[in-house]
Amino acid sequence: MAKVSIRALDDTSREGSDGAETRVYFDRDDEPIHLRLHDLARGARLRIGPLPADCAVYVWEGGVEAGGESLAAGSSVVVERGAALDVVGAEAASRLVAFAGAHAPAEVKAGGHVHLLPRDRVRRTDNLAGSGTKGALHADASCPTCALWLHESSMKAPDPAAPPRGDGGIHAHTEDEVIFVTAGELRFGTQHCGPGVAVAIAADTFYSFTPGPEGLSFVNFRAGLPDVVRFKGGAEVDENSYWRDLGPPDYLAPRAA
């Protein structure tokens, strides 16, 4: 896997038809996180799973019916390894962002369940750890039967009068991750990444980004529990401390599938 891979919607391959089309972003064996975007017309059916690793599905646009529940944009689903779920488009056009580890994790949990998280049950904050960033937690790897992580972040446009950050924002994570831009713009070096762009970043890779002039919203996936954030200057921060006050995701009752 390259240290950083950026994939736009126009760069993806297509699969499927009859109102259920899949765009493939990352799916090679050497890419530790796989990512697909599913487009569903009203009434179109998509089966997710069974997979060898846990899968997190974020409802980006539109809405779907799954497991007897209505899931509007901003909702999510966890389909644990070995489980499967049928999802049906409930609006004229819906988009689902599906993340999964490429392989079963070294520490395997039991799996076999589906967790539904409607939008109104998602735990949110308008000021994540005092940073001014909005955050929402969909999966925190604390589930006894699955181990993935998924969060949302929304950032305001930078203040043009603020001094440059220099190296202060350059950091690395201890896990492979994929960032999927849902609104606004992520500026990553010379790349301007708008909605539908995915950025895969290998563990221990130093990087930084800034929001564009209309701000930035994204979802971030890891196949396991985040550990520490390392900054270029040498400081380390427990990444989980940013999210601890929100508590664990408030899933509906787990369902065997």
| pLDDT tens digits, 100-147 | 999 877 778 999 999 999 999 999 999 998 889 999 999 999 999 999
19 pLDDT above the threshold of 60: yes
Tell whether domain 124-246 is in CATH 3.50.50.60: no
Mean pLDDT, rounded, for 191-211: 96
CATH code of the region 12-122 = 2.60.120.10
Share of the chain above pLDDT 70, in %: 96
Domain with CATH 2.60.120.10 in the chain: 12-122, 124-246
CA angle 245, 246, 247 (to 5 degrees): 95
pLDDT of residue 197: 98
CA angle 13, 177, 12 (to 5 degrees): 10
165 pLDDT above the threshold of 80: no
Using alpha carbons only, how large is the chain's radius of gyration in Å?
Answer: 18
The span from the CA of 154 to the CA of 245, in Å, is 18
Share of the chain above pLDDT 90, in %: 83
pLDDT digits (tens, 9 = 90+) for 150-159: 999 999 998 8
